[in-house]
Amino acid sequence: MSIQDENIAKLAERREKAKLGGGLKRIEAQHNKGKFTARERLNMLLDAGSFEEYDAFVHHRCTNFGMDKEHFDGDAIVTGSGTINGRLVYVFAQDFTVSGGSLSKTMAEKICKIMDMAIKNGAPCIGLNDSGGARIQEGIDALAGYGELFQRNIMASGVIPQISGIFGPCAGGAVYSPALTDFTLMVKNSSYMFLTGPVVVKSVTGEDVTQEELGGASVHATKSGVAHFASESEEEGINTIKELLSFLPQNNMEDSPIIENNDPVNRIDDSLNDIIPDNPNKAYDMYEVISKIVDNAHFFEVHKNFAKNIIVGFARFNGRSVGIVANQPKILAGVLDINASRKAARFVRCCDAFNIPIVSLVDVPGFLCGTQQEYGGVISHGAKLLFAYGEATVPKITVTLRKSYGGAHIVMSSKQLRGDINYAWPSANIAVMGAEGAVNVLYAKDIKQADSPEEKQKIFEEKKREYDELFSNPYQAAQRGYIDDIIEPRNTRFRIIRALEQMANKKDSMPAKKHDNLPL
């Protein structure tokens, strides 16, 4: 065998060893927990044969606490590029079989290199997290590594899509990188995120809490809103990431891929004409409306189990990716509150950053009242959604189905917030408030001075009827140009598609500035 053949054989041997990470025993331990390894996850995520690995032979440089005696090629993370459905992506996957996936300075450098390449080449960056946190043996070097990583997240924000998959532990400072990305996915019963673990919580606050109760997927998908998706398994999580990516462009200078559409553009759905109940206080399901107007009834929901009084997610109209924001009358009558406002604001800003048009389906009676909301800052949180719509320069199509009252009317992509095309169904009520509340304010004195309960009721009903004739319809708003057209519900799909096609080359801008001062 020649020297060259020996060198090639040595390379192949070392590469195969590197693929084993921390070794067969640790891989088996990972499998026994029902978890895949970093490389197995990447194999599921990427197109077959497309993975190009970088820094496979990197070692950590720590000599403290006996670390100089243990080295693994790659150092607890696998990084590289590949394709998903033929589209370039950059990826990194933490390897729990090596030092518990803990972050060293060299590991951070590998991630930063990948993120720099993603930004430079305009491609999404996907990180699969499974780590015990900072490598304690490296001290401040590990913390510096996190800082470098966070700075890359910030610089990439709004430039390329960033997606985080949490497939194991993610604690302490490590949680901030996923929190800075556009979308975070967790796996139920096997992943968790928190700043301080149960032991520290117990010592500081006295609370007894498990890892799952403190920061499991269900907690962050329903209560905190930290997780946009919670999957039942790692396979489901990987498939969710793939589908999410299909709605997003490569970067902020491109548009999302257009998918071949076999759903007729001019398809009408007569059932929409009867979906709004005669009783204005009766609920209906906004999901039914969405499914009847989008391509092939397919809606990819984001934040499904958080702030359910508002619905956000992606769909397609004639093959084009669109972000949908819709009030849900079945939950809290569709009111806006703190969580709904920040959920929708985050989504609107993401769509705007990546050139995805926004379709808003409005049925909102106002903002949720009460001390809990006011003390929690509902004013500031509501302003986030108002700000997000007002600064968005992508095409914005708004359809008011029923109620649109008060400040919530303005917030939900009104004409005054540069809504491009604003439609209303004949059932729309656009006013400062509902008829009953308005009459009680406007005619409180007349009602109070009435001689009998019957007379009070008569005045109330008479004034309510007058108010309904004036405002419990979309015509006054249409007369003033605040509504561009009143449309028949069954034609909603066609009208939205035509509006989106009309706005395909829309140009809008914001005044020159360093950056805005969003009411955080």
Q: How far is CA 158 from CA 124, 138, 346, in A?
A: 11, 32, 12
pLDDT of amino acid 13 = 75
The larger pLDDT score, comparing residue 235 to residue 280, is at 235
User: Could you read off the pLDDT of 117-149 as tens digits, one per residue?
Assistant: 999 999 999 999 998 777 767 778 888 888 999
**Ranges 64-78, 177-191, 270-284, 372-386: which has the least confidence:** 64-78
pLDDT of amino acid 354 = 98
CB 189 within 8 Å of CB 213? no
Residue 344 CA to residue 361 CA, distance in Å, equals 12
CB atoms within 10 A of CB 312: 25
User: Tokens for 320?
Assistant: 């084009």
Above 80 in pLDDT, residue 392?
yes
Exposure of 364 in the CB half-sphere (CA atoms within 13 A): 32
Residue 174 CA to residue 410 CA, distance in Å, equals 38
Burial of 448 per CB tally in 10 Å (0-12, 13-18, 19+): exposed
User: Tokens for 342?
Assistant: 């920040």
pLDDT of amino acid 243 = 98
pLDDT bin (cut points 50, 70, 90) of residue 67 is low
User: Tokens for 425?
Assistant: 């169904």
pLDDT of amino acid 66 = 59
Give the position of tokens 């509504």.
483
Residue 57's contacts (CB-CB under 8 Å, 6 or more residues apart) are 14, 18, 73, 74
pLDDT bin (cut points 50, 70, 90) of residue 487 is very high
User: Could you read off the pLDDT of 335-371 as tens digits, one per residue?
Assistant: 999 999 999 999 999 999 999 999 999 999 999 999 9
pLDDT of amino acid 55 = 87
Residue 373's contacts (CB-CB under 8 Å, 6 or more residues apart) are 337, 338, 367
Give the position of tokens 């080449």.
121
Catalytic positions: 172-173, 407-408
Residue 375, phi then psi, degrees to nearest 5: -65, -30
pLDDT of amino acid 93 = 95
Give the position of tokens 């703190």.
338
User: Could you read off the pLDDT of 448-486 as tens digits, one per residue?
Assistant: 777 788 787 877 777 778 777 777 789 999 999 999 999
pLDDT of amino acid 199 = 87
Give the position of tokens 């669109």.
322
Above 70 in pLDDT, residue 68?
no
pLDDT > 90 fraction of the chain, expressed in percent and rounded: 69
CB 192 within 8 Å of CB 215? yes
Q: Which helix (H) or strand (E) holds 402?
A: strand 396-405
pLDDT of amino acid 174 = 86
Handedness of CA 333, 338, 344, 347 (dihedral sign): negative
Exposure of 142 in the CB half-sphere (CA atoms within 13 A): 19
**β-strands 429-431, 396-405: how paired?**
parallel
pLDDT of amino acid 276 = 96
The larger pLDDT score, comparing residue 84 to residue 97, is at 84
Q: Which helix (H) or strand (E) holds 11?
A: helix 3-18
3-state secondary structure of 166: strand
- Sequence-distant contacts of 53-59: CB under 8 A, at least 24 apart: 53/78, 53/79, 53/80, 54/79, 54/80, 54/81, 54/110, 54/113, 54/114, 55/79, 55/110, 55/113, 56/15, 56/18, 57/14, 57/18, 58/106, 58/109, 58/110, 59/106
Q: Where do the DSSP E strands lie in 76-161?
A: 77-84, 87-94, 125-129
Average pLDDT score, the chain: 91
Residue 103's contacts (CB-CB under 8 Å, 6 or more residues apart) are 76, 94, 131, 133, 134, 135, 142, 145, 146, 174
CA nearest neighbour of 167 among 270, 301, 41, 261 = 41
pLDDT of amino acid 62 = 59
pLDDT of amino acid 2 = 84
